Amino acid sequence: MFLYERACLWLGHIKLSRVIVMVSVILFVVPLFTHYYLSKYETASVALGSNSMRHTLEALGDISTMNIADLKLRIEEMLRIKASVSTELRELEEKRGRLQRESAAASAKADNVKAEYARATAELQRLRVSADQARLAQLEAIRRDTPERAPPALILPSQPPLILPPISPSSEINCRMHSCFDHSRCSLTSGFPIYFYDPDVFSPLAGAEVDGFLKTTLRQTLGYNAHLTQNPNEACVYLVLVGESFPFEKSVSSTIEPYKLLNETAIKNLPYWGGDGRNHVLLNLARRELSVGAGDAFSGASTGRAMIAQSTFTLNQFRSGFDLVTPPALGPPGGDVWSDCAPMAPARRKYLLSFQGSQSMTTSFQKDNDTYLIERLKKMANTAPESDLFYLQFDCDPPVEKRSVKSIGDWALCGTDRSRRSVLRDSTFVLIFAPGDSSYTTTALLQARLYEALRSGAIPAILGGDRITLPYDEVLDWRRAVLSLPKARVTELHFLLRALSDSDLLAFRRQGRVLWERYLSSVQASMDSLLATIRTRLNIPARPASPTMGAPAFNDSFSPPKLEPPAVDTEPEETLGPLEAPYPSPAYRRNYSLALLHGYEMWNDWGEPFALYPQLPWDPPVTSEARYMGSAAGFRPIGAGAGGSGKEFSEALGGDRPREQFTIVILTYERETVLAAALARLRGLPYLNKVVVVWNGVTPPSAAAWPDCGAPVAVVRATRNSLNNRFLPYHVVDTEAVLCVDDDAHLRHDEIIFAFRVWREHRDRIVGFPGRYHAWDLNFNNGFLYNSNYSCELSMVLTGAAFVHRYYMWAYWRALPAAVRDYVDHYMNCEDIAMNFLVAHITRKPPVKVTSRWTFRCPGCPVTLSADETHFHERHKCIQFFSQVMGYTPLLSTQFRADSVLFKTRIPHDKQKCFKFI
C-alpha cells in the first residue's frame, strides 16, 4: 500500500508538473503569437483595409483551434532543419575550399610535371647528343693511324767538340752554315743549349781587359736566357765575348790601319775550340767608339770556322747567312724602355727631314763622290715649299734651315744625345747616309743613327741603302720600318717623302717602334735576338714558355665537399651541346713547322720568336675538304656535313676547327657566397673543361661545401692581391679558349655557348659582352677618355665576361710593358683596359661584342670596386697613361656586333633557330 500510495503521489506530481508546464507555455506562447499577428494585422489593415483585418481575425481564430503540440513539433523541426542546413552549408564550404586547394596543388603539380618533363626531355636530348659524340670520339680513337705525338727524347751531345785540323785562312771567307757548322751537336730536340765562356777567365785581348760593363751585362742578360747551359759538353753553340769597338791608330805612313788588340792565340786555345772554332760565335760589341771603322775587330785576323757578330763589316769580310750584324750596345742592360720613346702622333711633325752630322777627319776612306748628293740636297732644301721644313746640320755649327751645305764624306754624330733627340722627336724623316767607303756594308756609326732614329720615332731614310746590311736582316723585314733607296735617287727623295700618306707614316713609325723595342733597345734584347737568329737558321724550336705554377688553395689530401646546386628555373630549356668529359686542347703540334710557315710573322708581326707556346691564335685551319677527307678526326660538322638548323646545330660545334672546350677563370676576393652562386650557375654547361678560381684573398678559403658545377674546379691562391692575377698563365689551364668572368657576372648558358662559338671564328680577338669605347676629350684635347655610355661603336670588351686566347695570358707578362702592370697594381684598376690595349697592339683589330641580355650583373651581390665613384675617373687616367707608355693608343673602333644566324628570322614550323633566345 505504501508503494502504491507513493506511486499515485508520484503520478500526481507528474500530472501537476505537466499541467503547470502547459499552462506556462500557453501563458507565454499565446501572447507572443497574439502580439505577432496583431502587429501583422495592424500593418496589413493600413495597407489592405478592412478585408485584410477580417482575414487576420479568422487566422487568430484558427490558432485557438491549433494543437499546441503540433505547433511545438513544427517549430522544433524548423530549428532542426535550420541547423542541418547550416551544418551542410559549412561542410560544403569546407569541401569547396579543400577542392580548390587540391585543384591548385594539382595544377602546380601538373606544371611541375610539365617542366620536369621538358627538363627531362632536354636532358635526354643532351645525353643522346653526348652519347653520339662519345661514340664518334671512340671510333676516331680506334681508327687513328698514328698515336698522339709527344715531345721526343732530348738528344744532347755528351762529349766536347772533337779536335779537327784548322782550315786555311783563305778558306775562311767561304764559310757558310753547311760547310763550317757542326749540325750534329744541335739536334732538333736539343733545345739549342749555349755555353758562355767566362770573360774573367778567357780573355781574347792582348794586354787589355774586357770592359767591365759588358762583362757584367752579358752575364746578367744571358742568365735570363732559357738556352744557357753550364755544361759545355752538351752545348750547341759557344759564345765568346771578345770586347767592344777597337780604336784606330795612325802609323808613320799616315795611313789608317787597325791597331791589333786581338790575341788570336788566346782564341784558338779556348778549351772547346775544337781546332777550327766551329760552332763558336765571336762577339764584339761597339759601345763607346762610334767612328767610321770602329767595331771591326777581326779585319785581317784568322778566326777559323767561328761566326763573327759585330757592328762593322766590309763587303769582303761579311759572310752572308753565317756572320751576324749586331747593333751597338747603346741601350740599358734590360728592363722597360718606354720612357725613351716619343709618341707616334701626329703623323707629320715639324720637320719633314732632318740630318745632324759632322764630316769625318779621316777622309782616306772616302771613295764615293758625294758632291752631287750635297748639291741635290741643297737644291731640295732651297726649293721646297714653306710647308716642308728641313733641318740640315752638316758641320756641327748652330743648325741652319734651307741653307747651302758643304761636301760630306763620312759623318760622325753631331751634338749631344739630348740635342739630337730633341730634333729627331720633331722630325718625320731622318736622313742616314750609307758609309762613304763603299767597301763597308755596315758600320757602328750607321747603326747608331738607326738606333736613335727608331727610338725617337723618326722614320729612317737611308741613302745608299741598297748596299748596306741592317741588324738581323735575315729575319727582320726592315722594308716596313725604313725607307731605303740608292744614292742615285736623291733627286726623287722629296717626291717620295711627300708621297706617303698619314696612315703609311704611322705604320712605318709603329713598326720601327716594334723592331726597336723587341730586338735593339737593350743589351738583353740584342743578345736574345742574336741567339734566336742562329736558332731559327737551324730550325730548332724555342724553349717552351713556362706557365705559372699556381699554389693550390687546398692540399692534395683534401678538397671541399660538393653540394648539389639548386635547380635554376631561369635557364632556357634547349640543348646547347653535348656534356663530355674534360679533354685538353692539343698542344705543341707545330714545333717544327711554325718557323717555316709563320717565321716571318713571328719576328715582324707578333714580335715573339723567343719562346714556344702550346698554341697560337694564328694556327691555320684546314681546308673545307680536309674536314671530310684525310683529316676528319676531331671535326664536328653540323649535320655530318649536310648542315641544318637548330637541332643539328646543337649536336655539333661545326666550323673549320676541331672540337674543343674552354676554361673559365674566376677572380674573387673572399666572397665565398658570391662564388658559390657563380659555380652553381655553371651546372650543366656544355664544353666546359675546368673552372679555375683565382683566390686573391689574404685568408685562405674555408673548407665549407661548394656547389658541384659539373666540371673540375681548381682553386689557386695568389701570392698577393693583384688584379693582374686574372691573366697569369696558370699551369692548370689546359685549353686555348679562356673565359674570364667576374664572380658577380650573371650570364645564361646560351649566351656563354654563343660567345664561345663566335670566339672560335675570331681566335685572335677578345670576344665578350660588356662593350666600352675610348672617346676624345673635347674639353681639354689632351687624350682619350673612358666611356661606358650607349654608343653605336665600341673599342673595348671588358674581360669581366670575355673569351681570350690562352696565348695572351703569356703575352700580358712578356710583351706588355711592366709599367702598365705596375700602374694596375697601384690603382687596383684597369687590368681589362690593359688587355684590350695589348690585343689591339698585336693584332691591329678591334674586339668582337656578342649579344647580351640586360641582367648582366648579379643584383644581390655585395658592392664591388667598380661601384666607387673614383673608379670611373681612374679609368680616364689609365687610358692616357697606357697610351703614353706604348707611344700611341692601339684601340680600334668597330660598329659590329655578333648575333646568332637565323636571329629574328621567320623559318618554317619544322625548323628550329640556332638559339631560342639569341
Q: Show which residues are catalytic.
A: 832
For 82-125, give the DSSP string. Answer: HHHHHHHHHHHHHHHHHHHHHHHHHHHHHHHHHHHHHHHHHHHH
Q: What's the N-to-C CA distance of the chain in angstroms?
A: 111
Q: Which of 493, 497, 518 minimizes the C-alpha distance to 508? A: 497
Provide the residue type at 602 as one letter: M
What does the alpha-carbon distance between residue 668 and residue 721 come to, in Å, rounded to a whole number?
10
* Total residues found in the chain within this entry: 918
The one-letter amino acid code at 34 reads: T
Q: Cell numbers 673608379 label which residue? A: 871
Q: Name the phi and psi angles at 496, rounded to 5.
A: -65, -40
Q: How far is CA 623 from CA 148, 287, 643, 713, 778, in A?
A: 22, 51, 17, 36, 49
**Cα separation, 824 vs 396, whole angstroms:** 45
CA proximity to 692, closest of 644, 730, 718: 730
Give the C-alpha separation, 565 to 855, whole Å: 21
Please report where in the chains the cell 672546350 appears, as a residue: 661
* Residue 40, C-alpha cell as written in the block: 501583422
The arrangement of strands across the sheet holding 784-787 comes to 784-787, 771-776, 796-797
Sheet holding 280-285, edge to edge: 194-196, 237-244, 280-285, 307-310, 324-325
DSSP 262: B
Of 260, 274, 259, nearest to 306 (Cα)?
274
The strand ranges marked E within 252-312 are: 256-258, 280-285, 307-310
The cell numbers describing 231, all together, are: 755544361
Cβ atoms of 244 and 285 within 8 Å: the answer is yes
Cα separation of 712 and 734, whole Å?
12
Strands 688-695 and 713-717: parallel
- Cα separation, 1 vs 9, in Å, equals 12
Which residues have C-beta within 8 Å of that of residue 117, sequence separation ≥ 6?
none
Helix locations, 144-191, DSSP H = 177-180
How many of the other CB atoms lie within 10 Å of CB of 289? 16
Cα distances (angstroms) measured from residue 125 to each of 327, 756, 761: 64, 21, 26
Closest CA to 441 of 566, 298, 582, 316: 316
Burial of 300 (0-12, 13-18, 19+ CB in 10 A): exposed
Dist CA 64 CA 54 (whole Å):
16
| DSSP-derived secondary structure for 884-897 | HHHSS-----B--E
Cα dihedral 728/842/583/658 (nearest 10): 170
Exposure of 384 by Cβ count < 10 A (0-12 exposed, 13-18 middle, 19+ buried)? middle
Cα separation, 650 vs 126, whole angstroms: 9
d(CA 208, CA 376): 46
Cell of 564: 648539389
On the question of a cis peptide bond just before residue 346, with omega within 30 degrees of 0, the verdict is yes
CB distance 916 to 902 below 8 Å: no
